[in-house]
């Protein structure tokens, strides 16, 4: 059976919008939230550890369409996130609320996300972080779909990494690669 790994925040859940509504829309090219607002480190830590933040995140249409695509093709889908494990119940509720099928595995931990992906051995992954897709692509040889965001801009992506801006672009690349 074919397998795919989805990240949650930045792919299915709009954590960025919730964060920016709380702290502002500056420096979105930076991945690190603390680097965006170094004078608000304490407030940012409180925000990112608050379960109600995650319970109310908006569902991202592009990630949702991609998820439905793989679900319709009967892929074994795993959600792998660096969210802390104590957010598991909140995450499961959010996932069900947004129609993500219950046969999906969810892996939450601050532990190394790349090791968890390697253990799953997916055919490819969908993420929004260069710090994940580059080693997965380079070291593990797993093709990656990178959801386009301001914090992941880079001119020269490896051949196994495919930037996705919209669903039609995803379909075109998927058909070229996997048909």
Domain ranges of the chain: 3-13+58-178, 15-54
Q: In what order do the strands lie in the sheet with 105-108?
A: 105-108, 76-81, 3-6, 124-127, 144-147, 161-164
The C-alpha atoms of residue 41 and residue 35 are separated, in whole angstroms, by: 9
Task: Classify 92 in phi/psi space as left (phi over 0), alpha (psi -120 to 50) or beta.
Answer: alpha
Q: What is the pLDDT of residues 75-129, one digit of tens each?
A: 999 999 999 889 999 999 999 899 887 677 788 876 789 999 999 999 999 999 9
Residue at token pair 């939230």:
33
pLDDT at 110: 67
Superfamily of domain 3-13+58-178 in the CATH hierarchy = HAD superfamily/HAD-like (3.40.50.1000)
Burial 33-58 (b: 16+ CB within 10 A, else e): beebbeebeeebeeebeebebbeebe
pTM of the shown model: 0.94
| Lowest-pLDDT choice from 12-21, 56-65, 109-118, 158-167 | 109-118
The beta strands (E) that lie in 131-174 are given as 144-147, 161-164
pLDDT tier for residue 72 given thresholds of 50, 70 and 90: very high
Nearest-5° Cα angle at 91, 16 to 104: 110
Classified as helix, coil or strand, 24 is coil
């Amino acid at each position: 059976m074919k397998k795919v790994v989805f990240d949650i925040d930045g792919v299915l859940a709009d954590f960025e919008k919730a964060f920016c509504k709380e702290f502002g829309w500056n420096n979105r090219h930076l991945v690190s939230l603390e680097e965006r607002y170094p004078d608000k480190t304490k407030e940012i830590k409180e925000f990112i550890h608050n379960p109600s933040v995650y319970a109310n995140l908006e569902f991202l249409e592009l990630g949702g369409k991609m998820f439905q695509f793989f679900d319709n093709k009967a892929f074994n889908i795993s959600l792998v996130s660096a969210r802390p494990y104590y957010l598991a119940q909140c995450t499961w509720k959010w996932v069900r609320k947004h129609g993500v099928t219950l046969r999906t595995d969810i892996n939450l931990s601050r532990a190394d996300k790349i090791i968890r992906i390697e253990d799953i051995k997916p055919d490819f992954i969908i993420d929004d972080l260069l710090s994940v897709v580059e080693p997965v692509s380079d070291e593990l040889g797993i093709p990656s779909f990178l959801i386009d965001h301001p914090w992941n801009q880079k001119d020269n992506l490896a051949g196994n990494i495919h930037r996705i801006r919209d669903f039609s672009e995803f379909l075109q690349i998927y058909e070229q690669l996997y048909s």
